[in-house]
């Protein structure tokens, strides 16, 4: 109770200070991972929904009872609403990845904000869900991006393990080995279910789930990972 009271007061103080002063670059940082004593890891998928690979990835996750977080593009949501609804009905978490996957270095704060809000509307219209987390395309973080995301009311979610599955030169074995070599408790792993040919990601997924479980890891969504941090005190 005392901790929650402290956090409430701290949050109120930060809100007032940000209202009185311009947002600084250090005031709103992306979340890469969380510190936890428990062996939990969050699998995330970007750039979908894809009509071919998203359903196949969903099938593998369902078969293994693994929850994941999908950071979707609004343009893809509007193209493939049924696939988007499959993600939601399967019980996975949905995050906002912007609408067009633009290079955010070239966008103004207003344009970034519009990208986020347009995708928010697409997700809400298709699934009835208001996403809580935003992942900037390419992981780009600028002052304008941070301002736009904070104004939108989202957390910025990055990643701590990137097996580079977006590269067509990566084999499934390379993807598996990259994750196993670098993963630790509290990590957020970056995969893709859209944007490219994701055959190697799909081939790697089952082996990774099996191998990580054998090491004692439990799979959670990004929100569950953040709750894990809160429960650790």
pLDDT (tens digit, 9 = 90+) per residue, 105-134? Answer: 999 999 999 999 999 999 999 999 999 999
Q: Which residues are catalytic?
A: 46, 192
Asked if pLDDT for residue 14 goes beyond 60, the answer is no
pLDDT band at residue 230 under the 50/70/90 scheme = low
* Structure confidence at residue 233 (pLDDT): 45
Indicate the pLDDT class of residue 23, thresholds 50, 70 and 90. very low
pLDDT of res. 197: 82
pLDDT tens-digit series, residues 134-184: 999 999 999 999 999 999 999 999 999 999 999 988 999 999 999 999 999
Instruction: Report the chain's mean pLDDT, rounded to a whole number.
Output: 89
Hey, what's the torsion of the CAs at 142, 144, 149, 155, to 10 degrees?
30
Which pLDDT score is estimated for 7? 39
**pLDDT grade for 204, boundaries at 50, 70 and 90:** very high
- The closest of 18, 94, 92 to 62, measured between CA atoms, is 92
Better pLDDT: 8 or 210: 210
What is the Cα 49 distance to its own chain's centre?
Answer: 13
When pLDDT is cut at 50, 70 and 90, the band that residue 232 belongs to is low
Please report, for the chain, the start and end positions of each structural domain, with discontinuous segments joined by +. 32-231
DSSP for 51-109 reads TTHHHHHHHHHHHTT---EEEE-HHHHHH-HHHHHHHHHTT-EEEE--SS---GGGS-H
How far is the C-alpha of 182 from the C-alpha of 115, rounded, in Å? 32
Reported confidence tier of residue 9, pLDDT bands at 50, 70, 90 = very low
**Model pLDDT, residue 24:** 38
* pLDDT over 70 percentage in the chain: 86
Question: What average pLDDT does this structure show over 4-30?
Answer: 44
Terminal C-alpha separation, the chain: 11
* CATH entry 3.40.605.10 includes domain 32-231: no
Close Cβ partners of 161 (under 8 Å, ≥ 6 residues apart): 178, 179, 182, 183, 187, 188, 189, 190
**Mean per-residue pLDDT for 39-47?**
98
Round to whole Å and give the CA distance between 9 and 183. 35
Longest dimension (CA), the chain: 52
pTM of the model: 0.87
Helix (H) or strand (E) holding 228: helix 222-231
Separation of alpha carbons 18 and 27, rounded Å: 9
């Amino acid at each position: 109770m005392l901790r929650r009271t402290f956090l409430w007061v701290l949050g109120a103080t930060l809100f007032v200070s940000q209202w009185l002063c311009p947002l600084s670059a250090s005031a709103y940082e992306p979340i890469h991972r969380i510190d936890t004593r428990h062996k939990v890891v969050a699998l995330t998928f970007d750039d979908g929904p894809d009509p071919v690979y998203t359903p196949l990835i969903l099938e593998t996750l369902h078969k293994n009872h693994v929850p994941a977080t999908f950071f979707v593009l609004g343009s893809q949501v509007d193209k493939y609403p049924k696939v988007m609804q499959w993600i939601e009905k399967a019980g996975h978490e949905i995050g906002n990845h912007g609408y067009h996957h633009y290079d955010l270095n070239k966008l103004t704060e207003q344009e970034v904000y519009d990208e986020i809000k347009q995708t928010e509307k697409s997700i809400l219209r298709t699934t009835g869900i208001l996403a809580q987390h935003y992942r900037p395309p390419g992981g780009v973080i600028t002052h304008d991006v941070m301002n736009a995301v904070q104004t939108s009311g989202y957390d910025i979610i990055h990643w701590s393990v990137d097996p580079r599955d977006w590269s067509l030169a990566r084999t499934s074995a390379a993807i598996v080995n990259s994750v196993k070599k670098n993963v630790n408790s509290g990590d957020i792993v970056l995969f893709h279910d859209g944007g490219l040919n994701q055959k190697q990601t799909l081939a790697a997924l089952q082996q990774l789930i099996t191998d990580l479980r054998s090491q004692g890891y439990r799979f959670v969504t990004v929100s569950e990972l953040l709750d894990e941090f809160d429960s650790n005190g």
